[in-house]
Structure 1
Amino acid sequence: MLRKSVTESFGAAISSLSAADLTDTVVRRSKRMMLDTLGVGLLGTKTPVFHKALQYSMRYQALENSRVWGRSGLMLPPHYASFVNGIAVHSMDFDDTWHPATHPSGAVLPPLLALAETMPKKPSGLDLLLAFNVGIEVQGQLMSFSKEARNIPKRFHPPTVVGVMGSAAAAAKLLGLNPGQCMEALAIAASSAGAPMANAATQTKPLHIGNAARRGLEASQLALLGLQGNKHILDMESGFGIFFPDYSPAPLAHSAPFRWVLEDQDVAIKRFPAHLGMHWVADAAAAVRAEIFSWNPDTDLSQVRRVVLRVPESRYINCPFPVTEHQARHSFQFNACSALLDGLVTVGSFSSQQMERKALKDLLLKVQVDNPADNHSNFDSMYCEVAVDTAEGESHSARCSTFYGHWRKPLSQEDLTKKFTTNASAVLPLEAVEGIVSIIDNIEKMPDLSLLGSFLQLSNTEVSPQNVSLMN
């Protein structure tokens, strides 16, 4: 028997993986990812970048339509529903982050939910759960082909590279494509992969997730229609290897028991909407603040002489004086100073009112950034240290090596649910919020996804006792 190429092995695995391959750990972790993704996506529908993308997408109509999250009665063609819902997920940089670095869920869940609404035979919750995990798995496997991918990215934003491939794989699985068609879907999707890091910290960055979601869905549907691409796309340096200088692919073997990447590598769930690196520096700064005030409760932080941040070197998250909220979400300096002043960083920290505070701007002027040689740009090994010199000549410092929410220190289920509830309640009534929590918790038992779709669009005037009772 001839050895399968890498691309053939991926096509075969995508097609053949079944619900029986899912483990308890993978089911539990992926449910947490789904719930968090829906919450940050719903909150993201209140952002300017979502409104711009929605205004653009509403120009298009189709015979098949899917729901826009948080917008009662608003439907778009499934590709555009995937696009705007994906943008909403990443619009505040509040979505989950994996290692090697990418945002895995936002590229996969929106296209699956959009596709499910348009399929003649409605998929079950278990079908969705399996397809979601196939999309996550493909991303994890592709990132394992590069050592460079383990570090904070410098060239391409990872969701644009592996996210579109995960979206294509997930949609292919939900559509029931055969191994050859799954290969074609990956090949087609690869031609929509890649976006430069230069657009990080701008309104365009959330489009990376939206584009990955949309283009992956398109790739799977084009493959279903018979469109063909390079059948060795994952094997070639001039294929998918173009994104990694140290690309070293390996076949994906589907043998029982199947070992999912998510089994060994959990995701980070963020407590506030900013680049993942900001969570280390915010926790360290909050610890320094607590130490300072325990030493002297009357300390005036406006009199601080110097703030030193010892962080890994990464140019795009070294932003001394952010002007926009997107720059602030990618600024070590801003997040450290916000935590020093307030004790924590929240959704409200990135409002114009908070960003324009004189106390914050004055403190930013006193920040010095150091890049210790032992502090590598890697989400698994990096640390952040914050040192403050007070007006009285005292020095206080704290180091964070693992923030709460990191995969080594995951959020409790209670805190994850609280995060979802807070985010979703900004858009939906409480009955819908509680209904979504219950559905995701029991997703593998749901005969179809129609009730989830209804809850995602429920307005305060449309709460139905019958809908809520179905979840009791």
Structure 2
Amino acid sequence: MFHSSESGTATRVLCLGITESFGAAIHALNTTKLTDGVISRSKRMMLDTLGVGLIGSRTAVFNKALTYSQSFKSDEMSSVWGKSQITLPPPYAAFVNGIAVHSMDFDDTWHPATHPSGAVLPALLALAETLPSRPSGLDLLLAFNVGIEVQGRLMRFSREAFNIPERFHPPSVVGVMGSAAASAKLLALSPSECIHALAIAASSAGAPLANAATQTKPLHIGNAARRGLEAAQLAQMGLEGNPAILDIPSGFGVYYKDYSPSAMTVPASGDFKWMLEDQDIAFKRIPAHLGMHWVVDAALAARAKLENTARNFDPKQIRRVTLRVPPSKYVDCPLPSTEHQARHSFQFNASSALLDNKVTVSSFSEAQINRPALKELLSKVKVETPKDNQPSFDKMYCEVEIETDQGQSYAARCDTFYGHWRKPLSQEDLVDKFCVNASSVLCSEGVEGLIDVVGNMERVRECSILGSYLSKFQHILHHRANSIIYLVYWSFAHERRGGDQLVLLVHVALADALIHVFAAQLGDGRCGVGETGKLDSLVILLNPDGDLTARKHLGSDDR
């Protein structure tokens, strides 16, 4: 843009619009701008995201999305986390891996509220595997932080974004923009192409909060990762959008009631101030909506007070439980009937903590949700929303009060849970969380390899090495003792089943590995997988066409 001086001499004054400034900044940022603090925090985010994505690859919603995505093929294929024999076109790999990350609501949360990593890392890893010049670990760190930074700046265009959301799920709004920015950086797009990548991505933004607490919610992250990557690739091919998409109310402004954008500038020399340096990330200890961490910690503290006084804890002595929480309709679910509803229920998480003295991954199983003792306690829970309890992850609190049949009352309040950005997880606890999650799918070599690579990411020559560790699943003969395999086979009449059939009841984490192991042993045949509906197990049927002498019976010594 040109401005004239008072003397009439034409002087060129660079006055970029909002979108132009973002395009220029995405292009201009380089690895010299990365600080030690940003590198350290973003490596923690990457490790946690990989862990929750791996355990998420065992979920029903992930497997449905994977089955759908396998119908698409391309010349370029990228890894699916935890699946050694499966690759997908990069956008679909980003899609399913993003879904895995958010499938259990176990991924990181930022302020203003969004899940920043799940929309960015799956897109970058899918893209990195296909580039002719393989990006380094430092390249990955830069692109990742560009994607995080863009999300952070966009959320600060509105005060509405600082509160627990009411209309749109934030990752579907800013996540797709972060994915586009990160992918554009890894593709080394020009400033103009970066602008158009953002414009294209904006047309895929926005998902209604009504789909929270359903299987569709994880698709918000998967779609953000996929659509952002596609936007950058389309911009690279010359596709254009509105170059003022961030400047105008009818552009990105449609997602906020009080939209007030500001430019993003990168100094030619000196340091760049990253949002991540000032605002740390919250890492979850339980696979549920972030707000549940407050209510769980308060419930555990209230139970401890009761036990210290009464010397024992009997849920039947509870007459009433009162929860004092911020107003938020989509996490007020009195009687959840599915795991996704349970992950978004103050009442369920408080009751689970009171009954079991803990909340874990298994707390959200069908058996746990439907147990009579839990339903009885849920019927005694009342929710209050005090006026001073603000619906913001930075300001909210939760108080749990237990009243007994004897008229005694025990209350505890949580203002900041362990894992919140004000009380961050220690590195040891973050790594422990990763190990538990990743080892549900990977062998020890894969788990340790990922820890080593991510921990040294700034020195890694090719970041695509992550893919080799993400597919090192548990070997059938080296799984945990509690994953017992029962193997039985028999012959059916040819007119009924068309041949012999091998039937396995197996822990769900090993299902994929077993299909490949036994399919290889028995010859090429059709593999059918059906859910038993009991525990975390599957029934696998293998119908081999060839010689059946390769069958192996796994006795107790083989577990």
Structure richer in helix, relative to its length: 1
Residues 1:137 and 2:149 are matched in the alignment: yes
Residue 399 of structure 1 aligns to a residue whose secondary structure is strand
Shift of 1:247: 0.4
Shift of 1:127: 0.3
Q: Distance in 1 between matches of 2:195 and 2:422?
A: 34
Stretches of structure 2 that go unaligned for 5 or more consecutive residues are 1-12, 478-559
Contact persistence 2:125–2:464 (CA under 8 A): no
Which residue number in structure 2 is paired with residue 63 of structure 1? 75
Q: Distance in 2 between matches of 1:2 and 1:28?
A: 34
Shift of 1:451: 2.3
Question: Structure 2: which amino acid aligns with 1:60?
Answer: F
Question: Structure 2: which amino acid aligns with 1:370?
Answer: E
1:88-103 equivalence runs, <5 A: 88-103=100-115
The structure whose RCO (Cα within 8 Å, separation 6+) is larger is 1
Residues 1:414 and 2:440 are matched in the alignment: no
Residue 403 of structure 1 aligns to a residue whose secondary structure is coil
Q: Match for 2:335 among 295, 312, 321?
A: 321
After superposition, the C-alpha distances for 1:287-310 in whole angstroms (9 at most, x for unaligned) are 001110010123321121100000
Q: Distance in 2 between matches of 1:460 and 1:318?
A: 38
Shift of 1:392: 1.4
Which residue number in structure 2 is paired with residue 308 of structure 1? 322
Name the count of aligned residue pairs: 463
Q: Distance in 2 between matches of 1:445 and 1:158?
A: 33
Residue 397 of structure 1 aligns to a residue whose secondary structure is strand
Residues 1:355 and 2:364 are matched in the alignment: no
1:298-447 equivalence runs, <5 A: 298-447=312-461
TM-score (norm 1): 0.97
Question: Structure 2: which amino acid aligns with 1:140?
Answer: G
Contact persistence 2:122–2:225 (CA under 8 A): yes
Residues 1:178 and 2:190 are matched in the alignment: yes
RMSD: 1.0
Q: Distance in 2 between matches of 1:416 and 1:72?
A: 26
Which residue number in structure 1 is paired with residue 307 of structure 2? 293
Q: Distance in 1 between matches of 2:398 and 2:362?
A: 23
Q: Distance in 2 between matches of 1:119 and 1:341?
A: 51
Residue 431 of structure 1 aligns to a residue whose secondary structure is helix
1:69-80 equivalence runs, <5 A: 69-80=81-92
Which residue number in structure 1 is paired with residue 289 of structure 2? 275
Contact persistence 1:328–1:334 (CA under 8 A): yes
Residue 458 of structure 2 aligns to a residue whose secondary structure is helix
Which residue number in structure 2 is paired with residue 107 of structure 1? 119
Shift of 1:35: 0.1
Stretches of structure 1 that go unaligned for 5 or more consecutive residues are 464-472
Residue 22 of structure 2 aligns to a residue whose secondary structure is helix
Question: Structure 1: which amino acid aligns with 2:337?
Answer: V
Question: Structure 2: which amino acid aligns with 1:372?
Answer: P
Question: Structure 1: which amino acid aligns with 2:153?
Answer: Q
Contact persistence 1:283–1:344 (CA under 8 A): no
Question: Structure 1: which amino acid aligns with 2:387?
Answer: A
Question: Structure 2: which amino acid aligns with 1:210?
Answer: G
Shift of 1:99: 0.4
Identical amino acids, percent of aligned pairs: 66
* Runs of 4+ residues deviating >3 angstroms: 460-463
Residue 263 of structure 1 aligns to a residue whose secondary structure is helix
Q: Distance in 1 between matches of 2:158 and 2:214?
A: 27
Residue 72 of structure 1 aligns to a residue whose secondary structure is strand
Residues 1:454 and 2:460 are matched in the alignment: no
Q: Distance in 1 between matches of 2:313 and 2:26?
A: 59
Question: Structure 1: which amino acid aligns with 2:343?
Answer: R
* Mean CA deviation greater in 250-259 or 422-431: 250-259
Shift of 1:461: 4.4
Shift of 1:2: 3.5
Structure richer in strand, relative to its length: 2
Shift of 1:462: 11
Residue 281 of structure 1 aligns to a residue whose secondary structure is helix
Residue 74 of structure 1 aligns to a residue whose secondary structure is strand
1:5-16 equivalence runs, <5 A: 5-16=17-28
Shift of 1:271: 0.2
